[in-house]
Amino acid sequence: MMKGSSRSNTNTAAQQALIAHWQGIVKSLRNFLNILKVNNVPPFLVRKVFTRIFSFINVQLFNSLLLRREFCSFSNGEYVKAGLAELEHWCYRATDVYAGSAWDELKHIRQAIGFLVIHQKPKKTLDEISHDLCPALNIQQLYRISTMYWDDKYGTHSVSPEVISNMRVLMTEDSNNPVSNSFLLDDDSSIPFSVDDISKSMQQALRIFFMFCNRKLSLKNCFSWLLIKWVMGDVLY
């Protein structure tokens, strides 16, 4: 009885130590967001930055998963799933105003982890896997994760030999397509901006500036009317 309890406590401590890494990442995200808010960085720019950060996380985790077999285990899937839950909670707390579509940037790793932790893989058809479980993954990625998967916790098996055979057929048909022939994701470090984004950012920055000046510097009435007209949207546009 005592031995079983000791093993349970050890497992719990190990899980808490692992999740602490994810909580450290979330703490950094939270602190960074607070810095951006304090410095009045426009929300659209904040969304762009965090979308880029989450895209980087997606690429790094997904590529590591498909390059190293030890990462394609059931227990590692549970670990990453717990970490993704921490990131999802951060997005919820940050709200769409600041997080934007950052959570959507994790679709590849989310779907790959969903495959690792799902039960009864041998019963899944290729159509269920490619359309319901992992629609964002191409056939090369599906084949690699299916053949590299191993269950270090329950000893279960991956998808059926029939599904693997069907994947090979599709890969042969797509062999001339350079896009579908790659299983690694490209890391795009750019943060694109539209003219409309910049325009809205300038409007917001000027609103903040005028309101700050009016509040702190007690400007004369000849300037106050400009502030009122700007806030009402009559200046410049």
Reported as a single tens digit per residue, the pLDDT across 35-55 is 999 988 889 889 999 999 999
Residue 161 has pLDDT above 50, yes or no: yes
Question: Environment class of residue 216 by beta-carbon count within 10 Å: exposed (0-12), middle (13-18) or buried (19+)?
Answer: exposed
Q: How far is CA 90 from the centre of its chain?
A: 11
Q: Give residue 173's pLDDT.
A: 84
Query: Would you tell me how many other CB atoms lie within 10 Å of the CB of residue 104?
Result: 14
Structure tokens at 198: 């910049």
Q: What is the pLDDT of residues 45-104, one digit of tens each?
A: 899 999 999 999 999 999 999 999 999 999 999 999 999 999 999 999 999 999 999 999
Q: Where is pLDDT greater, at 131 or 233?
A: 131
Query: Would you tell me how many other CB atoms lie within 10 Å of the CB of residue 51?
Result: 18
Phi, psi of 73 (to 5 degrees): -100, 165
Within 68-158, where are the H helices? 74-99, 107-117, 126-127, 139-148
Structure tokens at 45: 């720019």
Query: Would you tell me how many other CB atoms lie within 10 Å of the CB of residue 37?
Result: 12
Structure tokens at 160: 């059926």
Q: How far apart are the first and last CA of the chain?
A: 75
d(CA 236, CA 104): 36
Letter string b/e over residues 73-91, b meaning 16 or more CB atoms within 10 A of that residue's CB = bbebbbbbeebbebbeebb
Residue 226 has pLDDT above 80, yes or no: no
Structure tokens at 121: 């893989």
Biggest distance spanned by C-alpha atoms of the chain: 82
d(CA 65, CA 112): 9
> What would the mean pLDDT of 172-188 be, rounded to a whole number?
74
Domain ranges of the chain: 2-173, 195-231
What single letter denotes the amino acid at residue 6?
Answer: S
Q: What is the pLDDT of residues 181-219, one digit of tens each?
A: 578 998 876 666 666 666 666 666 656 555 555 554 544
Q: Give residue 5's pLDDT.
A: 41
Nearest residue to 107 via CA among 39, 57, 161: 57
Read off the pLDDT band of 11 (50, 70, 90): low
Decide: 72 and 217 in contact? Cβ < 8 Å: no
With a pLDDT cut of 90, the percent of the chain lying above it is 61
d(CA 25, CA 68): 22
